[in-house]
């Protein structure tokens, strides 16, 4: 269709989506739109910063929206700069140019005329001759740079092969400076801009003639390796030798000397930290330091003496037992004591070991010991704070304890409402904070959680250490346990009886490396069906049809896998399962997004945290209505009993959820799980992946796939993220290495193989002043250091295999 143009004044912004800068504008028409007689019109498109009341030139086409009628879809736009003296003075002395008043504005017009803005835009050097202060000159230039319209910048970025979505990300960070920044050093955008990696930077670098051994390029490769480790592997550092070899692979140049210099320069610029033989991104390195310091603060500022006598606690436990009509075993009692007599304690155990029952006991005991009236538990400032990373886990905690439990995001007030601000988190007080499903908490959320704790007396971290680590980087729960700085109870005895017990037995056997004989046997609750990767899809189709015939509710069946691609991958399985579980009806309302069709009744999965909607990565919902004509509210879904509305743009974060990855299933449980693993998943086959998958099944589990793949998972230990938090906690809390073994011997209490580790015999010094000793690092990396043998990039080179996902797609 032919492009048409018109000038209009921006009245208001009706809708905006910050993710890709899509906006719907209400515009007064100033020059007539060809063949259309209107005074105002809605203009849609992607726009940068706009000013209400400013005049713009729009280029695009007329469209008809089924509900809102005639609209103008802008493909590009430009702001029309004021040329008339009085409006130009008004404009130059507005908020856009802070520090430039009426007088300075008049000077600019005197010296450059009423075309001043265009003149400076074309030739920024003209500013130097103006009789303004240097600060005013900077303000003027910045303001004019910012005026660059978004579409101009996207067009220029497109010439460098940058996609619109990435261009929008660049614009959001650098605004009018985008092109300047990119052309000065495309590699400096790595790690700063989502979707922009070494490959993109290198394409532009070559176009700009940046030599292959240019320090900018070398630094870019180093940043990329560290970013990959963080985002793909969840590692918080990379061994120097690996950093050198992997960066060198990206660069395809000879020798490490120049690379060592590049690392040093990054260190000097405060972007990278070298600590011993490890290299880390500074912000990540500092985040680990901050976590360790916060934990030190929490331990040091809480009383170290036992507050309650053993007798008092025992009496309280007895009462709790009577109320709950159970008898806690010795280990469970120790866990309750640890929680009540320590500032920070940890509880870890597999399914059915009584974690939730212990949380209940801790709260009942504390209520008695502190004489807390029941009504107070529900006040605005409750003494018990219960939280979990997922809505589902929080809901369950709340149901079992009868005390309200929240997601960690909600507890902290993160991202709720327009004014949400991560520097303005809720302060946490009260008697106790208990966080469940801790294995899912990544280092970023954990940092925010613990820095928000103010006067809370006791903090208890509860989880299952053997599950997959958090989706986000770090390995917080395992690191806390490994530090031996906090009393830790490991529960192993299975208390849950009944139908599902054989799956729980299998899960525990997997962790104890005793599952080889029982995993392929057929039991009342689980079975294994061997098939190769080509047979996965038809096998699952048959199993699901069979389950339906046997009377399973279609909402109770969940297929799990490891990967999205391939015939047995999640994407293909979702096509097949959607046909069975929510068959096509040609007439029915539907929406299409990223090669998927969404229909009423479809099970869907949220792929990103969205605190504003209070739904999180991995949460499953069901579509209850679809409005094909409504851009801003095209879909409504039920998430755990709550209606959540989605606009067209939000669909990017949704996928169908008949089949989901094991990673995304963390924190959820399903009555029937159908799990598939084959050797196509060999890179991911680890014990914690299999364990996490199996423990998602509440009552029934069908495993399909290659026996070899299951055996490989059983025999490959999981959870080997490279993190430095354990060491940092131990350094700050002065836990001596040698004490570990002693401590284990002395203080391990065994019952049913359960263990309780207390730190009473360790050298944890609670009276010491906070100290940063040992946390700050700076080391200059010299070529000599590399070749001295201390850091030998050749070591292990044979073993280093650049995984496909480490290379930017
Ligand atoms: N000491 C006990 N005596 C009797 N029953 C117990 C005891 N401890 C726990 N149980 C029971 O065992 C079952 C599992 O306990 P609970 O739900 O607390 O475990 P969990 O570790 O939280 O499990 P999951 O992680 O699977 O939710 C529950 O039915 C609980 O009532």
CATH of the domain at 72: 2.40.50.140
Strands 488-491 and 755-757, by their bridges, are: antiparallel
Which residue carries 């969840």 as its tokens? 234
Q: d(Cα 408, Cα 392) in Å, to the nearest integer?
A: 12
pLDDT of residue 561: 96
Q: Is residue 457 part of a domain?
A: yes
Question: What is d(CA 19, CA 168) in angstroms, rounded to the nearest whole number?
Answer: 8
356 Cβ below 6 A of ligand 1: yes
Q: For ligand 1, is residue 599 a contact (CB within 6 Å)?
A: no
Ligand 1: residue whose CA is nearest its atom 1: 328
What's the rounded mean pLDDT across residues 73-91? 84
Cβ of 350 closer than 6 Å to ligand 1, yes or no, is: no
Q: What is the distance in A from the centroid of ligand 1 to the CA of 355?
A: 6
Q: How far is the CA of 358 from the centre of ligand 1 (A)?
A: 8
| Structural domain includes residue 292 | no
Q: What is the pLDDT of residue 416?
A: 53
**Percentage of the chain modeled with pLDDT above 90:** 52
Beta-carbon count within 10 A of 507 CB: 26
- Report yes or no: 658 and 611 within 8 Å, Cβ to Cβ: no
Q: Is the CB of 400 under 6 A from ligand 1?
A: no
N- to C-terminal Cα distance for the chain? Answer: 34
What pLDDT sits at residue 797? Answer: 28
Query: What confidence category does residue 296 fall into, taking pLDDT thresholds of 50, 70 and 90?
Result: very high
Q: Give yes or no for residue 471 CB within 6 A of ligand 1.
A: no
Backbone angles phi, psi at 173, to 5 degrees: -90, -45
pLDDT of residue 554: 92
User: What one-character DSSP code corresponds to residue 541?
Assistant: H
DSSP-assigned letter for residue 424: S
Decide if 221 contacts 228 (C-beta within 8 A).
no
Kindly report the CATH number assigned to the domain that includes residue 342.
3.40.50.300
The answer, yes or no, to whether residue 334 has pLDDT greater than 90, is yes
Position with higher pLDDT, 748 vs 399 = 399
Of 646, 679, 705, which closes a domain?
705
Calculate how far, in angstroms, residue 75's C-alpha sits from the geometric centre of ligand 1: 60
Residue 720 lies in a domain: no
For 28-46, the pLDDT digits (tens) are 999 988 888 889 999 998 8
Considering only residues 328 and 683, tell me which one the structure prediction assigns the higher pLDDT: 328
Q: Is the CB of 352 under 6 A from ligand 1?
A: yes
Look at residue 325 and tell me whether its pLDDT is greater than 90: yes
Give me ligand 1 centre to Cα 361, in Å: 11
Q: What is the mean pLDDT of residues 600-625?
A: 89
Ligand 1 in reach of 496 Cβ (< 6 A) = yes
Residue 449 reports pLDDT greater than 70: yes
203 ligand 1 Cβ < 6 A: no
Write down the pLDDT at residue 783.
45
Same domain, 236 and 120: no
Atom number, ligand 1, closest to the C-alpha of residue 504: 26
CA distance 267 to 589: 56
Distance CA 507, CA 386 (A): 27
Tell me which of 81-85, 123-127, 592-596 is least confident. 81-85
What interface predicted TM-score (ipTM) does this complex get?
0.98
By the 10 Å C-beta count (0-12 exposed, 13-18 middle, 19+ buried), 685 is classed as buried
> Mean pLDDT of all residues in the chain?
85
Q: Indicate whether 700 pLDDT > 50.
A: yes
Interval between CA 508 and ligand 1 midpoint (Å): 15
Ligand 1 atom nearest the C-alpha of 349 is 21
635 phi and psi angles, rounded to 5 deg:
-145, 135
Q: Per the domain annotation, does 712 fall within a domain?
A: no
Residues 53 and 111 in one domain: no
CA 670 – ligand 1 centroid, Å:
18
Rg (CA), the chain: 30
Cβ–ligand 1 contact at 326 (below 6 Å)? yes
Same structural domain, 396 and 463: yes
**CB of 329 sitting under 6 A from ligand 1:** yes
Model pLDDT, residue 304:
56
Confidence of residue 752 (pLDDT cuts 50, 70, 90): very low
Cα 21 from Cα 235, distance rounded (Å):
32
Among protein residues, the one whose CA lies closest to atom 9 of ligand 1: 354
> From the CB of 357, is ligand 1 less than 6 Å away?
yes
**Contact predicate 385/432, CB 8 Å:** yes
- Residue 254 confidence (pLDDT) above 50: yes
Asked if residue 452 has pLDDT above 90, the reply is yes
Q: Give the ligand 1 atom nearest the CA of 353.
A: 21
Residue 756 confidence (pLDDT) above 80 = no
- How many CB atoms are closer than 10 A to CB 211? 11
Of all protein residues, the one whose alpha carbon is nearest to atom 4 of ligand 1 is: 326
Out of 139-143, 331-335, 345-349, 798-802, pick the least confident.
798-802
Strand partners, 8: 29, 56
If you search the block for the tokens 């990119």, which residue do you land on? 182
Res. 769: pLDDT tops 90: no
Q: Is 754 in the pocket of ligand 1 (CB under 6 A)?
A: no
What average pLDDT does range 107-117 have in this prediction? 90
Give how many domains the chain has, as a whole number.
Answer: 5
Dihedral, CA of residue 575, residue 577, residue 580 and residue 586, to nearest 10? -30
Mean pLDDT is lowest, of 140-149, 406-415, 452-461, 577-586, for 140-149
Give residue 588's pLDDT band: very low, low, confident or very high (50, 70, 90). confident
Q: Read off the tokens for 430.
A: 């009260």
Does residue 503 line the site of ligand 1, with CB under 6 A?
A: no
Parent domain of 320? 307-490
How many Å apart are CA 233 and CA 609, to the nearest integer?
19
Nearest CA to ligand 1 atom 2: 328
Q: Which of 323, 331, 357 to mutate to test the pocket of ligand 1 (most atoms within 8 A of CB)?
A: 357
pLDDT (mean) for 105-129? 89
DSSP H stretches of helix in 644-761: 662-665, 687-694, 707-715, 725-732, 739-747
Q: What pLDDT does 50 receive?
A: 82
Whether residue 469 sits in one domain with residue 447? yes
| Separation CA 307–CA 304 (nearest Å) | 9
pTM: predicted TM-score of the whole model, two decimal places:
0.79
* Cα of 496 from ligand 1 centre, angstroms: 5
How many angstroms is it from 39 CA to the middle of ligand 1? Answer: 68
- Best mutation site among 317, 352, 492, 508 for ligand 1 pocket (most ligand atoms within 8 Å of CB): 352
355 CB under 6 A from ligand 1? yes
353 belongs to an annotated ligand binding site:
yes
The secondary element (H helix, E strand) that includes residue 547 is: helix 536-549
Q: How many helices (H) and strands (E) does the chain have?
A: 28, 27
In 10 A of CB 444, how many CB atoms? 17
Ligand 1 centroid, distance to 383 Cα (angstroms): 24
Average of pLDDT values for 720-726?
93
Confidence of residue 253 (pLDDT cuts 50, 70, 90): confident
Q: What angle do CA 706, 708, 711 make, to 5 degrees?
A: 120
Report CA dihedral (456, 458, 459, 464) to the nearest 10 degrees: -160
Strands 405-407 and 384-388: parallel
Does residue 657 register a pLDDT over 60?
yes
Report how far residue 336's alpha carbon sits from residue 635's, in angstroms, rounded to the nearest whole number. Answer: 45
CA 356 to ligand 1 centroid distance, Å: 6
328 lines ligand 1 (CB under 6 A): yes
Tell which atom from ligand 1 comes closest to the C-alpha of 495. 12
157 shares a domain with 130: no
pLDDT at residue 414, rounded to an integer: 82
pLDDT at 789: 41
pLDDT for the residue 118 = 83
Q: How many CB atoms lie within 10 A of CB 737?
A: 8
Of 289-293, 455-459, 491-495, 729-733, the poorest mean pLDDT is in: 491-495
My answer on whether 522 and 641 are in the same domain is: yes
Q: Is the CB of 332 under 6 A from ligand 1?
A: yes
* pLDDT exceeds cutoff 90 at 587: no
The reply to whether 112 and 65 lie within a common domain is no
Residue whose CA is closest, atom 14 of ligand 1? 352
What pLDDT is recorded for position 780? 52
DSSP β-ladder status, 272-275 and 670-677: unpaired
132 with 46, same domain: the answer is no
Q: Are residues 651 and 542 in the same domain?
A: yes
CA of 153 to the centre of ligand 1 (A): 59
Instruction: Report the pLDDT value the prediction gives residue 461, as an integer from 0 to 100.
Output: 98
Candidate of 317, 354, 359, 666 to mutate for ligand 1, largest count of ligand atoms within 8 Å of Cβ = 354
777 lines ligand 1 (CB under 6 A): no
Q: Is residue 626 part of a domain?
A: yes
Asked if the structure places residue 419 within a domain, the reply is yes
Contact 487, 346 (CB under 8 A): yes
Annotation-wise, does 203 bind a ligand?
Answer: no
Section 240-268 average pLDDT: 89
**Banded model confidence at residue 303, pLDDT cuts 50, 70, 90:** low
Contact 702, 541 (CB under 8 A): no
Domain membership flag for residue 155: yes
Residue 354's nearest CA partner among 496, 505, 467 is: 496
Ligand 1 touching residue 695 (CB < 6 A)? no
- 482 and 338 housed in the same domain: yes
The closest-lying atom of ligand 1 relative to the alpha carbon of residue 491 is: 21
Residue 769 lies in a domain: no
> Which of 347, 350, 495, 696 has most ligand 1 atoms within 8 Å of its beta carbon, as the pocket-test mutant?
495
Q: What is the dihedral of CA 211, 212, 214, 215, to 10 degrees?
A: 160
Give the mean pLDDT of 134-153: 81
Of 469, 490, 511, the residue that ends a domain is: 490
pLDDT single digits (tens) 256-272:
888 888 999 999 999 99
Q: Could you tell me if 209 and 222 lie in one domain?
A: yes
* Block residue for tokens 């650049």: 802
Identify the domain boundary among 490, 509, 532: 490
The verdict on whether residue 356 carries a ligand-binding annotation is: yes
- Pick 376 or 646 by higher pLDDT: 646
From 257, 258, 284, 259, select the one nearest 270 (Cα to Cα).
284
Q: How far apart are CA 152 and CA 155, in angstroms?
A: 5
**pLDDT over 60 (residue 749):** no
Residues 367-423: tens digit of each pLDDT: 999 988 887 877 777 899 999 998 878 888 888 888 889 989 989 988 654 444 566
Residues 613, 264: Cα–Cα separation, whole Å:
43
**630 and 518 in a common domain:** yes
Which residue has its alpha carbon closest to ligand 1 atom 18?
354
pLDDT band at 177; cut points 50, 70, 90: confident
């Amino acid at each position: 269709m032919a492009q048409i143009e018109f000038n209009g004044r921006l009245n208001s912004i009706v809708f905006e989506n910050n993710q890709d800068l899509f906006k719907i504008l209400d515009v007064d028409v100033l020059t007539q739109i060809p063949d259309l007689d209107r005074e105002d019109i809605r203009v849609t498109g992607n726009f940068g910063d706009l000013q209400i009341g400013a005049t713009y030139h729009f280029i695009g086409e007329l469209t008809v929206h089924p509900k809102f009628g005639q609209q103008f879809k802008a493909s590009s736009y430009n702001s029309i700069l004021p040329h008339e003296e009085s409006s130009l003075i008004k404009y130059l002395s507005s908020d856009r140019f802070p520090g430039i008043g009426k007088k300075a504005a008049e000077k600019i017009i005197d010296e450059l005329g009423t075309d001043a803005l265009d003149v400076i835009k074309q030739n920024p050097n003209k500013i130097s001759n103006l009789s303004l202060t240097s600060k005013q000159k900077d303000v003027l230039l910045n303001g004019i740079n910012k005026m660059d319209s978004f579409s101009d910048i996207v067009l220029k970025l497109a010439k460098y092969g940058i996609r619109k979505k990435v261009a929008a990300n660049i614009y959001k960070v650098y605004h009018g400076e985008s092109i300047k920044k990119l052309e000065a050093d495309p590699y400096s955008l790595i790690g700063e801009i989502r979707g922009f990696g070494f490959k993109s930077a290198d394409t532009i670098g070559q176009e700009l003639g940046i030599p292959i051994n240019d320090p900018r390029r070398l630094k870019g490769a180093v940043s990329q390796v560290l970013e990959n480790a963080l985002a793909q592997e969840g590692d918080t550092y990379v061994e120097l030798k690996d950093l050198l070899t992997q960066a060198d692979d990206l660069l395809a140049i000879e020798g490490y000397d120049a690379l060592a210099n590049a690392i040093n320069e990054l260190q000097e610029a405060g972007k990278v930290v070298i600590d011993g033989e490890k290299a880390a991104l500074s912000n990540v390195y500092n985040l680990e330091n901050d976590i360790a310091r916060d934990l030190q603060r929490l331990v040091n500022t809480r009383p170290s003496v036992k507050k309650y006598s053993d007798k008092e606690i025992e009496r309280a436990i007895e009462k709790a037992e009577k109320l709950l009509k159970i008898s806690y075993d010795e280990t469970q009692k120790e866990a309750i004591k640890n929680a009540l007599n320590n500032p920070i304690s940890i509880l870890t155990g597999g399914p059915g070991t009584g974690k939730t029952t212990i949380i209940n006991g801790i709260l009942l005991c504390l209520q008695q010991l502190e004489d807390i009236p029941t009504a107070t538990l529900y006040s605005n400032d409750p003494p018990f704070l219960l939280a979990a990373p997922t809505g589902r886990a929080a809901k369950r905690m709340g149901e079992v304890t009868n005390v309200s439990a929240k997601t960690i995001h909600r507890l902290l007030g993160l991202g709720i409402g327009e004014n949400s601000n991560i520097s303005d988190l809720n302060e946490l007080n009260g008697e106790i904070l208990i966080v469940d499903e801790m294995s899912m908490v990544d280092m970023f959320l954990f940092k925010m959680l613990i820095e928000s704790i103010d006067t809370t007396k006791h903090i208890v971290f509860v989880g299952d250490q053997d599950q997959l680590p958090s989706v986000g980087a770090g390995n917080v729960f395992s690191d806390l346990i490994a530090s031996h700085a906090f009393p830790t109870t490991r529960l192993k005895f299975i208390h849950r009886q009944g139908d599902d017990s054989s799956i729980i037995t299998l899960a525990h056997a997997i962790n104890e490396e005793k599952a080889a004989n029982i995993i392929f046997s057929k039991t009342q609750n689980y079975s294994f069906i061997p098939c190769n990767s080509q047979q996965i899809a038809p096998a699952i189709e048959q199993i699901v049809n069979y389950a339906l015939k046997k009377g399973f509710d279609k909402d109770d069946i969940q297929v799990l896998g490891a990967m999205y691609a391939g015939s047995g991958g999640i994407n293909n399985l979702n096509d097949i399962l959607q046909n069975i579980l929510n068959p096509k009806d040609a007439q029915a309302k539907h929406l299409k997004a990223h090669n998927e069709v969404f229909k009423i009744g479809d099970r869907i999965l949220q792929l990103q945290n969205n605190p504003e909607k209070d739904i999180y990565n991995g949460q499953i919902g069901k579509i209850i209505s679809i409005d094909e004509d409504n851009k801003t509210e095209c879909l409504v879904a039920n998430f755990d009993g709550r209606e959540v509305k989605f606009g067209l743009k939000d669909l990017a974060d949704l996928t169908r959820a008949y089949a989901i990855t094991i990673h995304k299933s963390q924190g959820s449980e399903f009555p029937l799980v159908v799990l598939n693993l084959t050797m196509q998943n060999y890179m991911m086959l680890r014990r914690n992946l299999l364990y996490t998958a199996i423990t998602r099944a509440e009552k029934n589990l069908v495993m399909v796939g290659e026996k070899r793949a299951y055996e490989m998972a059983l025999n490959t230990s999981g959870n080997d993220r490279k993190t430095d938090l354990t060491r940092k906690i131990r350094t700050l809390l002065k836990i001596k290495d040698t004490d570990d073994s002693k401590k284990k011997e002395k203080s391990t209490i065994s019952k049913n193989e359960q263990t309780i580790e207390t730190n009473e015999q360790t050298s944890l010094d609670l009276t010491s002043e906070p100290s940063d000793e040992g946390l700050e690092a700076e080391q200059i990396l010299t070529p000599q250091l590399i070749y001295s043998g201390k850091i030998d990039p050749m070591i292990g080179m044979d073993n280093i295999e650049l995984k496909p996902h480490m290379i930017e797609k």
